[in-house]
Structure 1
């Protein structure tokens, strides 16, 4: 998200954005850590506001979904050892997030189909042209220690996230939208957010899509969650050992008396994805929390292993510096875009899990995504024509990237070679690629051409604002277009779906024409499990873990 609010120091002494603050929060990527999610837009917001029944649990199908499961029993899940502390405020890795989500809850849940569902909030409304948002809390909710949930408690949770001293991984999500001091209460059951600017997608920022936005007790102390794991969620954390795993039991005070179905959950940590996969194949675990498509898709259907797939909004941005030759000429950038075989990228890089991209930042999962923009496809004749028009003969450039993008870099090199374009590969360590001075010389923002893996975001604006708006904090292409800037502001402020689609079309056409970044594919997510043991387990675009309606077979 924009403007690095906190820049931790790595072991080399470089100032680096954290995994939550720079784009590479990689729960959806081949690295197997975490992201945000896609979003459904205003229509989904309005629909969600009406779903306030007591059974509308986050992540489930609502009240109707909470029927028919087998009650009782335990399941065992495997996961990589969490590299970050089990702390809701600062965590940014997939394992820690999934574990905390079993214990603590959000105002709103973001499900696997990009729809918002009431959780601790039953409804929300906006006023002042989208600058003020009011959330009504669900009545009768208590924390696992019996403390009632109220508006001051929710306010304290968001004040904690907005305090720069706490270095929350959520802080960057609120940048330019919500600042410290912007949260108020109105009575015991209404929380009011006063925004810095109109932002019609704000409910997504207080949903699970902003995964640190969990509601905790007012007296929560940073770093103490594993020792004092109190939440309003469906499970209790009974034990946690960072070297081994965790165990959970059903929360008897959970607000939905029908769920969860399971008596408990055991989580076993493994040193790497391969060890986790072997545990699944051998039957040592029943399912994975984080699955890698390249490992599990090939074995789907073997024995009792099933793999659930879901669309997502993660992407790898192939960024071209528009202020440096040869990419100063639009025709050169377009030629590269026409040289790429997008179905081939999707198959070879993403194992077919995802959808084709069209060189703009509106994933098909976003409600406002344009549907009438012709899909760009490989066209060797078009490549030659564009390069000729640009006066470029033998095009050659260097592509910089870090190890998680190696497979994509090799595919780009091979596909461009087939149309006569030479690509020299510059693989750097992740520390070097994201290191250096973030304002002047960090490779991921200042090399001529590079690959950056962006984890999924709740709203398209969270890609557009930092990546392609003029002077955006993460604008590696150095692209500047006043027309796009104005449309981006209008999109964020609009509440009418038709107006949002209109502005989205302006943004998408500009990016598709100017090609400061090439988007060949939007990645999806997978989750593997043993179908002879587990029922109801789903993949999630952000690898979130909802076990409320999961049961033993």
Structure 2
């Protein structure tokens, strides 16, 4: 019965709001691909911006870096830090009109935990012991250990967001797919055409209030140049997202000088760095890693490659991230220091040779990047040029994206680009992932003599109660990583917006991939 009503509802909605007819204010945006099935518990091809539009979490992460009520209006944490009791709002409905209750929340947690291995990059999955609807509006989580990032990880875009029971498949295993994306969020998907567009309509039941925007048409535009042309011709109204993701930096600089459009840049969103492989020669040598950090002119890269649109970075995480403002001494650009470090380590220059040698071997490092990523290519070439000046031969290896990510996991790299995930993942979720070979971090750190102790401290900090002890542990973890020169921090990326007079204002959100269409103020 649910399925029949759902199909009818979507069909009526589709006929009522086809892309050629406007019912209320419409904003046209673009994305490189379709939104996907918008499974709240799934990953690719489910697009995160769409998951955040359709589904709500129990708690949300705010601009003040704090945790705020969402579907849960309040909560209590037991003295031992193991039990979280959430009190749900009583006036919330899913977009199909059915009421939210604790049983629906329990169904979603059960679906996630049924496939826990898919989600164990976040440690809360390993810490959950039980999840239970106590009554209609009370939901209780019990943990195996106190786990301080619990609320932060529940606020993430996926996988712990809440879908209506009517959206579940008959066997309740959402890993196999869903019937339809039905959430409590501000938007609902009403029409989709593969390779062309996705149409969202304001959810009339949304508990968060009303929006000036009633429809969001997301056109599929994969190429940044084509996206800029679509904006220039009025085909789309808004460009919003990661710089050099939605459009290239040169194009954004052009918009900055155009008085007819509004263009803005956010504060730091995450950390962009180069991971150095401590388990593979020659970057298994601490002196070589430190020489690299002192030998790269990061300011020049930020100014000329990133065009001043990103913030220079001296540490892996932005000091604005919780527990990360530690005052660690930066590795300043000083090729002379690089040369001294390499000399002391036995890497010497022979007359007539541009590159240093030791024991008959050239100081050679392979630097891997995504070949189709123009920004990575330009940054890699700049780094190659800087390191050549200190006698290091850097071989650039341009890869297809799939091969590049395989190298991150396998450790087949000397240097490779890496990025942290921004708020609210940093630092806890990102540090947690350092313990498993899911990204470049594990492989970059695997050669460290204190790797086992580093992982032990990361495990401990996740289950520690008490701000002072948590701060002490992060100080030790992040100082070790910094002192061991495992990363060459480059910049803290930003988000950008570009729009015309149709939009008066759209705020930046603290989380990547959250686009607040419901908070747009339209031009008068």
Q: Give the corresponding residue for 1:331.
A: 287
Q: Is 2:394 the counterpart of 1:423?
A: yes
Q: Give the corresponding residue for 2:50.
A: 99
Counterpart pick for 2:504 among 520, 535, 553:
535
Distance 2:320 2:45 in 1: 23
Distance 1:156 1:519 in 2: 42
Q: Give the corresponding residue for 1:63.
A: none
Alpha-carbon offset, residue 289 of structure 1: 4.6
Q: Give the corresponding residue for 2:329.
A: 374
Q: Give the corresponding residue for 1:64.
A: none
Distance 2:387 2:301 in 1: 12
Q: Rg: which structure is higher?
A: 2
Distance 2:43 2:408 in 1: 25
Distance 2:124 2:41 in 1: 20
Q: Give the corresponding residue for 1:281.
A: 232
Q: 2:271 touches 2:419 (CA, 8 Å); kept in 1?
A: yes
Q: Is 2:61 the counterpart of 1:110?
A: yes
Q: 1:319 touches 1:476 (CA, 8 Å); kept in 2?
A: no
Q: Give the corresponding residue for 1:515.
A: 485
Q: Give the corresponding residue for 1:270.
A: 221
Q: Give the corresponding residue for 1:399.
A: 367
Q: Is 2:296 the counterpart of 1:340?
A: yes
Q: Give the corresponding residue for 1:119.
A: 70
Q: Which has the higher contact order (CA 8 A, sep 6+)?
A: 1
Distance 1:144 1:472 in 2: 36
Q: Deviations over 1:37-79 (max 9, x none)?
A: xxxxxxxxxxxxxxxxxxxxxxxxxxxxxxxxxx962222222
Alpha-carbon offset, residue 113 of structure 1: 5.3
Distance 1:461 1:180 in 2: 17
Comparing 276-285 with 478-487, greater Cα deviation is found at: 478-487
Alpha-carbon offset, residue 317 of structure 1: 4.1
Alpha-carbon offset, residue 153 of structure 1: 0.7
Q: Give the corresponding residue for 2:517.
A: 547
Comparing 541-550 with 225-234, greater Cα deviation is found at: 225-234
Counterpart pick for 2:403 among 384, 408, 432:
432
Measured at CA, do residues 76 and 181 of structure 1 come closer, stay the same or move farther in structure 2, by a change above 3 Å?
A: same
Q: Deviations over 1:167-208 (max 9, x none)?
A: 86xx1343464367632233222222233443211111111x
Distance 1:400 1:463 in 2: 21
Q: Give the corresponding residue for 2:360.
A: none
Q: Give the corresponding residue for 2:148.
A: 200
Q: Write the mapping of 1:17-28 to structure 2, written as runs, cut at 5 A.
A: none
Q: 1:232 touches 1:254 (CA, 8 Å); kept in 2?
A: yes
Q: 1:368 touches 1:497 (CA, 8 Å); kept in 2?
A: no
Q: Give the corresponding residue for 1:255.
A: 207
Q: Deviations over 1:323-351 (max 9, x none)?
A: 33323331221111111222223334434
Q: Give the corresponding residue for 1:191.
A: 139
Q: 2:104 touches 2:165 (CA, 8 Å); kept in 1?
A: yes
Q: Is 2:431 the counterpart of 1:464?
A: yes
Q: Give the corresponding residue for 1:451.
A: 416
Q: Give the corresponding residue for 2:158.
A: 211
Measured at CA, do residues 101 and 226 of structure 1 come closer, stay the same or move farther in structure 2, by a change above 3 Å?
A: farther
Q: Is 2:357 the counterpart of 1:389?
A: no
Q: Give the corresponding residue for 1:3.
A: none
Distance 1:269 1:246 in 2: 8
Q: Deviations over 1:473-500 (max 9, x none)?
A: 7511213525533432343233433333
Structure 1: segments with no counterpart, 5+ residues? 1-70, 436-441
Q: Give the corresponding residue for 1:53.
A: none
Q: 1:260 touches 1:548 (CA, 8 Å); kept in 2?
A: yes
Alpha-carbon offset, residue 534 of structure 1: 0.6
Measured at CA, do residues 232 and 470 of structure 1 come closer, stay the same or move farther in structure 2, by a change above 3 Å?
A: closer
Measured at CA, do residues 178 and 454 of structure 1 come closer, stay the same or move farther in structure 2, by a change above 3 Å?
A: same
Counterpart pick for 1:526 among 489, 493, 496:
496
Q: Write the mapping of 1:164-243 to structure 2, written as runs, cut at 5 A.
A: 164=115, 171-175=119-123, 177-178=125-126, 182-207=130-155, 209-219=156-166, 220-221=168-169, 222=174, 228-243=180-195
Alpha-carbon offset, residue 472 of structure 1: 8.3
Alignment root-mean-square deviation, CA: 3.0
Structure 2 length-normalised TM: 0.80
SS in 2 for 1:528: strand
Distance 1:348 1:155 in 2: 51
Number of matched residues? 468
Q: Write the mapping of 1:17-96 to structure 2, written as runs, cut at 5 A.
A: 73-82=25-34, 84-92=36-44, 96=47
Q: Give the corresponding residue for 2:13.
A: none
